[in-house]
Amino acid sequence: MKKFFDRYPVWFAVVWIIVYVLAFGNADTISESLGVPKLITAVVGLVLTVVLLLFLRKHSLFPYCGLQKVQGGRWAWFLPLIAVSTVNFWHGLTVRDEAALYLISMVWVAILEEAIFRGLLFRAMEKDGRTAAVIVSSVTFGVGHIVNLLLGAELLSTALQLVEATALGFCFTAIFMVTGSLLPCILSHAFINCTSFFALDPTPTGRIVTCVIVTVVAVSYGAWLLKKNAVLYFEMKDEE
């Protein structure tokens, strides 16, 4: 696997994306057929996460993929990220049963998606052009959510989620670029995923308004990070 990664880093990331999407999609379907939602998904997520993390650790790729502490210690940068992460609180929360397996699955989703789309795909494309790498990493992350249509999600909800995910993907990529760490992205991603289980369904208008706010804040925040902190990014790259 390491030889494949060294020779074809982009395709290595693509293979992981395909495996991830197919594995989770089928796991959700099987879980539903067994009558225990997310049962198989939680197990599949654990296996994929362990396999990927062991591979990265074995070959000392944690820093490469951003699995390290934030460089520079500028935690005030993350205030807009914290605000966006509360999106599922905006329309109210409710108590739901059988949350454990869902929450566990969503943690694996956050780790895997950040490590794959940012840590592997963006990094692999970065050397050939940062702009293209940012766009592809963000858009593929967003488009990947279209699989929810196959799982029974409504068209409007899926379309809005795709837009939000693309904007957040851009934001997470910017954070990764200027801090060298995916940890804030993973924490925010996991928090958003987990709290979605308890979120009340908004009206279509409310859902559209939420999408607009999240998209504007995430894109503006990401653009600000890239513009204001480009110097820090290049300093970090020179040190690698």
Rounded to whole angstroms, the Cα distance separating 20 from 112 reads 8
* Domain locations in the chain as residue ranges: 2-239
Phi, then psi, of 157 in degrees rounded to 5: -60, -40
pLDDT tens across 38-88, in order?
999 999 999 999 999 999 999 999 999 999 988 765 666 788 899 999 999
Rounded to whole angstroms, the Cα distance separating 156 from 229 reads 36
Residue-level pLDDT at 12: 97
Phi, then psi, of 96 in degrees rounded to 5: -130, 150
Sites in the chain below the pLDDT cut of 50: 231, 233-236, 238-239
Buried b (16+ CB within 10 A) or exposed e, 32-52: beeeeebbbbbbbbeebbeeb
